[in-house]
Amino acid sequence: MNEDETKRAGRVGSTAVTIGLCLLVGLVVSTRRLPLWRVRRWAARWSVRLPDRWLPMHLRVLPPPDSEYLGVWAVSPTEARRRLAEYGFRPQIRAYLHAYEQGGTMRYEEASYAYRPRGTFGPWQLHVRLFPARSGETAVWCHWERNPTVSPFAHLRQDGYDPAEGKRRLVELMDEPIRVAEEGPIAG
């Protein structure tokens, strides 16, 4: 197989994977048989096994940025998802898939939620990601960013992306404690 054929095969494979995942997510979510976070975790577990060259960037599994790590919430991921919904957060499908290794175990994202203070079409959002912690509690990452529904290109360019502001807003919004960490758990 020459170089052009290899590139073409990679593009075809990437397109097939993207279309297949989109159809599967659409089917599963539309029938409400599985919560969105489970579909995203399943996609991450499968896409992490494929070579990056076969996947478009938005389907690759990435480690969450260290700058977004807030700390540990003393509740399970299941309870954290429930409470975020009570605070007005909504599940996100259009977010990168995240996972990290800690102590020899892969920790896959268990939720990607956004809170939009000015509603669905407001200009900004607080994006929160939840991961299972070793203790059975929930590790929390967050950042403040442009709403991709309203400003998709500004969102992709990361105009206004601010992890510190996201942390400040999340702590201010919630009326319960999160153990704020000095550094992230990825190295640990």
Q: Residue 15: which domain range?
A: 3-180
Please compute the mean of the pLDDT values over residues 121-139 and round it to a whole number.
93
Q: In the structure encoding, which two tokens stand for residue 33, read together? A: 């048989």
User: Does residue 185 belong to any structural domain of this protein?
Assistant: no
- Give tens-digit pLDDT for 34-87: 676 667 666 666 666 667 677 666 666 678 899 999 999 999 999 999 999 999
Q: Which pLDDT does position 31 carry in this prediction?
A: 46
Please compute the mean of the pLDDT values over residues 107-117 and round it to a whole number.
91
To the nearest whole number, what is the mean pLDDT of the chain? 80
Number of domains within the chain: 1
User: Does residue 186 belong to any structural domain of this protein?
Assistant: no
User: Does residue 141 belong to any structural domain of this protein?
Assistant: yes
User: Does residue 163 belong to any structural domain of this protein?
Assistant: yes
Q: Which pLDDT does position 164 carry in this prediction?
A: 97
Please compute the mean of the pLDDT values over residues 175-187 and round it to a whole number.
75
Q: Grade residue 100 by pLDDT with cuts at 50, 70 and 90.
A: confident
The whole-model pTM stands at 0.72
Please compute the mean of the pLDDT values over residues 12-37 and round it to a whole number.
60
Residues of the chain with pLDDT > 90, as a percent, come to 39
User: Does residue 187 belong to any structural domain of this protein?
Assistant: no
CA gap 24, 116 in Å, rounded: 27
User: Does residue 56 belong to any structural domain of this protein?
Assistant: yes
Report in angstroms the alpha-carbon separations of 112 from 2, 40, 54, 104, 178. Answer: 41, 9, 24, 23, 17
